[in-house]
Amino acid sequence: MQIKAHVEDDLEVETWVEQMIAENGYAQISMHNPSSGLPGFAFTIGMEQSRQVPELICMGVAPDIAAQLFAICIEGHDSGVYDLAEGNQSVKGLVQGYVLRFRRVAPAMVLKANTVRPYRREDISKMVQLLLPDNSGFFPGDLECDPGVATAQDPDRLLAPATN
């Protein structure tokens, strides 16, 4: 699903989300303010209901890149390459020459996603973070991982209180 839309009005957002979920089984919400100094993030909504798997969250990439990654990951799940419901796992074969990693997120990150998403009857209850490797193939959490890559994908930065 590659959608290039920027919607500001809350009612329009809710309508757009419902339309995307009806058509694709999920919608993507992207949050990014470059002046904040925080990594941008994007997440899906609708996956728990349409596919009975956790929602996906991706940090540190532009919304269009997140959309492409989500589409690849969801296609891999739908075709049986792997099962998103398994949570923590590394997956080969979704992007040629790369391994992607999925990691369950803490309840605080799920709560954050629920507070920024448009209104929906169902709250998000489970999420997995799509982790991307650095240029050497190391992931956030690996001691050898490039600090910039690890920082851009660190959910604690999103959850930290804002400082003035």
pLDDT value at residue 68: 95
> Strands 55-59, 127-131: parallel, antiparallel or unpaired by DSSP?
parallel
Q: Which residues pair with 146 in a beta bridge?
A: none
Q: What is the CA radius of gyration of the chain?
A: 15
- Domain boundaries in the chain? 10-159
> Which pTM value belongs to this model?
0.86
Out of 2-6, 9-13, 90-94, least confident range: 2-6
Q: Model confidence over 18-63: pLDDT tens digits? A: 898 899 999 999 887 777 766 689 999 999 999 999 999 999 888 8
Q: What is the arithmetic mean of pLDDT over 126-155?
A: 95
Name the more confident of 130 and 161: 130
Flag whether pLDDT at 4 surpasses 50.
no
For residue 20, the tally of other CB atoms under 10 A from its CB is: 19
Cα 3 to Cα 77, 82, 116: the distances in Å are: 20, 25, 20
Q: Which residues pair with 117 in a beta bridge?
A: none
Q: What is the arithmetic mean of pLDDT over 109-120?
A: 82
CA-angle at 145, arms to 29 and 132, nearest 5°: 30
Consecutive H or E run containing 73: helix 63-78
Cα 79 to Cα 1, 3, 4, 46, 76: the distances in Å are: 16, 22, 25, 18, 5
**Which two three-digit tokens encode residue 55?**
């929602």
